[in-house]
Amino acid sequence: MSIVINHLTFAYTQGGKPLEPTLKDLCFTIEEGSFLGIIGHTGSGKSTFVKHLNGLLPCEKGTVVVDGHDLSQKSERKTVRALVGMVFQYPEYQLFAETVFEDAAFGPRNMKLDEAEVKSRVVNAMTLVGLDPERFSERSPFELSGGERRRAAIAGVLAMHPKYLVLDEPMAGLDPLGRREILSLLEKLRSESGCTIIMISHSMDDIANHATKVLVLDQGSLLMYDTPQSVFSNADQLQRIGLSVPGITKICVEMNRRGVPIPASICTEDAFLDWFREGRQHA
């Protein structure tokens, strides 16, 4: 199963009149079980695009089909919203209940699940995000640290058992430890449950280290859709549209300029070390 985007085009309106399209004829497929990183300059259409994945924005032109469910059909949106979980920037601002448990239980209860199933899902979700249910269930979410609040908010989405998890800058505002914790959580979720991760990020290093595919948007159009190795090997093209590249890619580009031949596809420290070790073995 997969998410199939076919000729998706969307324009906001002002005064009843459509503005310049924010998304322009997007066509590609998000494979089940993948980790898709979405990058692009500010205003490139990243957030607008992901809001189409569970019907928060309507498909005006083109289609978004999630596991065979066409979001252009209003009758399919409820089904898709159970499949696609959304975590927006600073999700902790959406915490509202008196306890962490009650907050995480809100979504499952709206799904009309029985209380035993609600409890099971909340406990499992809290455990998955690293919040011990015995310690955190009865605590106020507003007493938690920034990283803990972020994880509590994500637990509320995970308790609904999404097949696809969409995150818009999930590490925004977190310290380095908090960033590592969230990324580790996403990798754990993907490996243990097979959940497809779709993540917008401005961190090229995070995308290079975790994504299996990268979508590059430029002024609403699809510029690239490929592996991180392939995308970041086009450093000059990315920089022309205002994007950076992973730190290790910058080093490789400079080494090539200084006459040291190194593959343009290297975009992570592990790949760089593998290349270095292999070179020493053949020296």
Check whether 265 has a pLDDT greater than 60: yes
CATH 3.40.50.2020 holds for 2-245: no
pLDDT tens-digit readout, 65-83: 999 999 988 889 888 988 9
Secondary structure of residue 283 in the 3-state scheme: coil
pLDDT tens-digit readout, 162-184: 999 999 988 887 788 878 888 98
Cβ-count burial 63-89 (b if 16+ within 10 Å, e if not): ebbbeebbbeeeebbebbbebbbbbbe
- Averaged confidence pLDDT in the chain: 90
CB 160 within 8 A of CB 122: no
Angle at 263 between CA 274 and CA 259, to 5 degrees: 110
Distance CA 131, CA 152 (A): 8
Q: Output the six-digit token pair for 275.
A: 């290349």
Distance CA 162, CA 198 (A): 12
User: How many C-beta atoms surround the C-beta of residue 191 within 10 A?
Assistant: 10
